[in-house]
Amino acid sequence: MIAVLDVGKTNVKLSAAAADGTIVETLSVPNPVRPGPPWRHHDLQSLGEWVFDTLAALSRRYDLAALVTAGHGSGGVLTGADPDAGDGAVLPMIDYEQPLPDDIREAYAPFAGTFLDRGSATMHGATHQARQLYWMAQREPGAFAKARWYLGLPQYWAWRLSGVAASEASFLGAQSHLWNVAEGRWAPIVSARGWEHLMPPFAKAWHALGPVRPELVKRFGLPNGLSVLTGGHDSSLNHYRYHAAGLRDFTVISTGTWIVGFSGSTPIERLDEHRGMTLNSDVFGKPLGGILTMGGREFSHIAGKDAPAADVPVDILGRLISERVFATPSFGDDDGLFPGSAGRGRILGRSAETPMERKALAILYCALLTIECLEALGDDSLVVLDGSFLRDPLYAQLVAAVLPDRQVRVNLDAYGVAAGAALLAGEETRRRPALLSLGEPADLTALKTELRGYAADWRSLARAAPGRQDEFEHTKGSFHD
């Protein structure tokens, strides 16, 4: 059995998984955030107690051979040399969703490098590990000078458990602004700021760094000899599960707070940082074309707080399409795929009057966002959808209906990141593809023709200047070029 620690922004999960990626048990806890000074930060001390206690409890129920950690791509920890010195950190781990001080933002920009150095546009809040490091160095130079390592989130927990520090390609390739994926080298900011000594040697995501430290075995009752793997970026590990199952030349779209798309087929020159596109790394260090937009937040803005749990009836969706009711980007504070759209989201046509109509409009909007992501990444014939949007089958049906020339498949497994992480343990010994069950969305035959015309108009509206959207409303749902 494999233990998987999945560190998300909001929640942390610890699972026991079989070697084939099947999740047997999962326990979770909120990921606590504390106010400053010196900045809003995650409570690594209390989280560590939970992780070690819960891992010990799981080890009493299952024969655990290895542990692997996955983590979101906007977190890292500046540590000392001793993992037993409190939480090991010399400065608190920055919460990436807080606003960045204006002076830090402005002073950081000249160091940020090219798109290939960054792997993304410079995003909102305190996102990007390089920018967090810069903030730490500017505000707390005394503590910064005492640091031994800078570790990505999965590698921090691997270090706490094993005592071995490592860097890892998929995590640094997740918009850290520290690693140039295309050229396989550190971004210029690392040498410009003198950070080379903070970066430990690289290890593969599936590499065994060592056993759990004896101190933790003694204090918490952790299993002696439990192997600690390097771990990696959560979305990259979700992508890896499909690779481990033998899929090639495919695009995966994962949905939740973010819509995250990955394709290994996307040429680097196709990537457009101004449309939410990213240059990521898979666990093998190879480039992954990526795309990011906060679909889950957009869904919540449109559907509202009282969204029904029931599936949306097709007739309600059909009425919104026939009456040309549109939601246009973007409702949150992020442009996503549409430059200049942040905070300009609108409902065009009549209002969506009932909770179910609002949910239907939100699903329709997010399906169209997904299609924009897919077409930006390229033309892989196989598309795999997974994540929380699949709770309503209409989402996948809409994507498939607008893209008839693609094979759209769905994975209803809710534990993609944990499954991919568990499969890492067998990377060097697996002799046949990992098991994977994919479904096919039902056909929206009755709506196909009208839906494709609606989708074309939505794209024109989404890309139009606000004045052109006003023209659309004035002409009562007929968009003229």
pLDDT digits (tens, 9 = 90+) for 127-184: 999 999 999 999 999 999 999 999 999 999 999 999 999 999 999 999 999 999 999 9
Q: Let me know whether 38 and 106 are in one domain.
A: yes
Q: Which domain holds residue 195?
A: 2-236
142 lies in a domain?
A: yes
Q: What is the pTM of this model?
A: 0.91
Q: 178, 209, 236 — which closes off a domain?
A: 236
Q: Let me know whether 384 and 355 are in one domain.
A: yes
Query: What is the amino acid identity at position 343?
Result: G
Q: Let me know whether 254 and 229 are in one domain.
A: no
Q: Let me know whether 283 and 160 are in one domain.
A: no
Q: Let me know whether 132 and 179 are in one domain.
A: yes
| Of residues 305 and 146, more confidently modeled | 146
Q: What mean pLDDT value characterizes the chain?
A: 93
Query: What is the amino acid identity at position 53?
Result: D
Rounded to whole angstroms, the Cα distance separating 149 from 156 reads: 9
Q: Let me know whether 224 and 118 are in one domain.
A: yes
Give the bridge partners for 179, in sequence order.
Answer: 186
Q: Let me know whether 225 and 280 are in one domain.
A: no
DSSP, residue by residue, 148-199: -EEEEHHHHHHHHHHS---B-HHHHTTT-SSEETTTTEE-HHHHHTT-GGG-
Query: Tell me, what's the pLDDT at 399?
Result: 97
Q: Is the pLDDT of residue 65 over 90?
A: yes
Give tens-digit pLDDT for 347-381. 999 888 899 999 999 999 999 999 999 999 999 99
Q: Is the pLDDT of residue 460 over 80?
A: yes
DSSP helix/strand/coil, 5: strand
CATH number of residue 171's parent domain: 3.30.420.40
Q: Is the pLDDT of residue 480 over 80?
A: no
241 lies in a domain?
A: no
479 lies in a domain?
A: no
The total of structural domains in the chain comes to 2
Assign 475 a pLDDT band (cuts: 50, 70, 90).
low
Q: Let me know whether 253 and 168 are in one domain.
A: no
Q: Is the pLDDT of residue 481 over 80?
A: no
Q: Let me know whether 216 and 282 are in one domain.
A: no
Please count the CA atoms within 13 angstroms of the CA of 113 that sit on its side-chain side.
23
Q: Let me know whether 158 and 208 are in one domain.
A: yes
Q: Let me know whether 277 and 215 are in one domain.
A: no
Classify 416 in phi/psi space as left (phi over 0), alpha (psi -120 to 50) or beta: alpha
Tokens read off for 30: 């909120």
Q: Let me know whether 77 and 173 are in one domain.
A: yes
Assign 472 a pLDDT band (cuts: 50, 70, 90).
low
